[in-house]
Amino acid sequence: MSIPLFKRRLALLTVLGLVLAGCDDANDQETDAPAPQVRVETVQPQALAISTELSGRILAPRTAEVRARVAGVVLKRVYREGSDVKQGDVLFLIDPAPFKADHDSARAALARAEATLYQARLQEQRYRQLVEENAVSRQEYDNARAAFLQGGAQVAEARAALERARLNLGYATVTAPISGRIGRALVTEGALVGQSEATEMAVIQQLDPIHADVTQSTRDLNALRRALHAGELQQVGPDQARATLIQDDGSAYPLPGKLLFSDISVDPSTNQITLRSEFPNPDLDLLPGSYVRVRLEQAVQPKGLSVPQRAILRDSAGVPKVLVVDDQQRIDERQVVLGSAQGDRWIVSEGLTPGERVVVEGLQHVKVGDQVQVDADKSAQPLVKHTGQ
C-alpha cells in the first residue's frame, strides 16, 4: 500500500469517528433534556351557582298613553319631547272656550233650578198649613208637594251637569297620568282631537327601574325542576336569584338585577315560559324594545366541579376535553361534559373526579404520555363561589 493512499484512508476514518461521536453527544443531550413544565389546578368540589343565559326584550314597568278626553283644537304643546315628566304636569292645552261656555251655562241652569226649588218649597209649606185647616183640597197640596220634590231632582240634575262641565273644562288641560319619560308628540298645534275617539297624543314610560322579559323552554325548566327534586341541585331563594344583563355588544350591564317571577302559563305557540327580571336604570341606558340576554342564577350545585376556560381543548369533532397529570407525572386525557359558563370558568358535569390535577398552562408543549414537571408554586385553585349565599 502506498503512503498517500494510507493517509487518505486514515483521514476518512478520522472524519467518520468524529461524526459518530457527534451523534452520541446529540443522543446524550436528548436524553438529558428536562421534562416540560406545566401549571395545574387541582379540582375540588364546592358550591357553584347554576345559571342559564336567556334572550328577551327590555320593557317599561308602566306605560301610559296620553289621550284627549274631550273634543277640541290643540292650542299648545307645553312639554319638551323626550323629557322627564311628573304625574300631573301639563302636557297639552286644548281650546277651553267652548267648555268654559258650557260650564257657565250649567252654573246658570243650577241657579235657575235652585230658584225654582225655593219657590216650590215655600208653596209646599204654605199648602201644608192650608190643607190642615181644610182651606185647600188635598189634591192641591199633593200637587205642591210633587212640584217641590221635582224641583229637588232638577237641582240635583243641574249640579251633575255643572260637575260634568267642570270636568270637561279641566280635561282641556291635558296632564301626565304617571311620572316617567315622555316621547314625541303625536299631534301638533291646530289639530282637532277627540272628535270621534280618544286621540292618542303622546306616550309616557317609566324607565327606572326597568324590566327584562326573557323566555325559557319548558324542557329546560322541567329538567331543572327534576334535578331540584332529586337533590342534585338546591333551590335559590327568591331574594337571592341574581340576574346579570348582557347587552347587545356582549358587555355586561354594570348594575345587577333580580328575578321577579316566572309566568304562570306556557305560550302554546312556542312552548316557552316568560321570566321577568328587574334592573336599576338610573342613567336610562336601557330602553324599551332593546334586545338583551339575561344570565339568571336558578339553582346551586352543592358539590360542583369547575375548570378555567383556558384548560378546555376540543378535538376535530368539537368534543371538549382536558389534560390531567397522573400520579406518575405523566399527561393523560379526559373527555368532559360541560355545563354552564361561570365567568372565566366552565362547570364540568361529567368526566372529572375531585382531586385530579388539570393542566391550565403549557398545554401546547405536551401530549398524552409525556413526562412533565408540575409547577407546584404556581398551581391555581378554583375561586368560583355562589354569589347568592
Q: Look at residue 160 and tell me whether its pLDDT is greater than 90.
A: yes
Q: What's the confidence (pLDDT) of residue 227?
A: 62
Helix H or strand E segment including 149: helix 138-171
Residues 131-154 have a mean pLDDT of 84
Q: What's the confidence (pLDDT) of residue 162?
A: 92
Give residue 344's pLDDT band: very low, low, confident or very high (50, 70, 90). confident
Helix H or strand E segment including 182: strand 180-182
Say which CATH topology domain 51-60+210-299 has. Elongation Factor Tu (Ef-tu); domain 3 (2.40.30)
pLDDT tens-digit map of 223-250: 666 766 665 555 666 555 678 888 877 7
Can you tell me whether residue 382 is helix, strand or coil? coil
**Between 272 and 115, residue with greater pLDDT:** 115
Cell of 25: 453527544
pLDDT tens-digit map of 269-294: 877 888 888 899 988 888 888 888 88
Which CATH architecture best describes the domain 37-49+303-378? Beta Barrel (2.40)
Encode burial over 248-285: b for 16+ CB neighbours within 10 A, e otherwise. eeeeebeeebbbbeeeeeeeeeeebbbbbbbbebeeee
37-49+303-378 with 63-206: one CATH topology? no
Q: What's the confidence (pLDDT) of residue 153?
A: 92
DSSP assigned state of 253: P
Helix H or strand E segment including 93: strand 90-94
CA distance 335 to 342: 20
User: Model pTM?
Assistant: 0.62
Percent of the chain with pLDDT over 90: 19
The answer to whether the beta carbons of residues 311 and 298 sit under 8 Å apart is no
Helix H or strand E segment including 218: helix 218-229
The answer to whether the beta carbons of residues 39 and 361 sit under 8 Å apart is yes
Percent of the chain with pLDDT over 70: 80
Q: For the chain, give the mean pLDDT.
A: 80
Which CATH architecture best describes the domain 63-206? Beta Barrel (2.40)
Structural domain boundaries of the chain? 37-49+303-378, 51-60+210-299, 63-206
Q: What's the confidence (pLDDT) of residue 384?
A: 42
pLDDT tens-digit map of 356-372: 888 888 888 888 888 88
Q: What's the confidence (pLDDT) of residue 236?
A: 61
Residues 178-198 have a mean pLDDT of 88
Q: What's the confidence (pLDDT) of residue 383?
A: 42
Q: Look at residue 100 and tell me whether its pLDDT is greater than 90.
A: yes
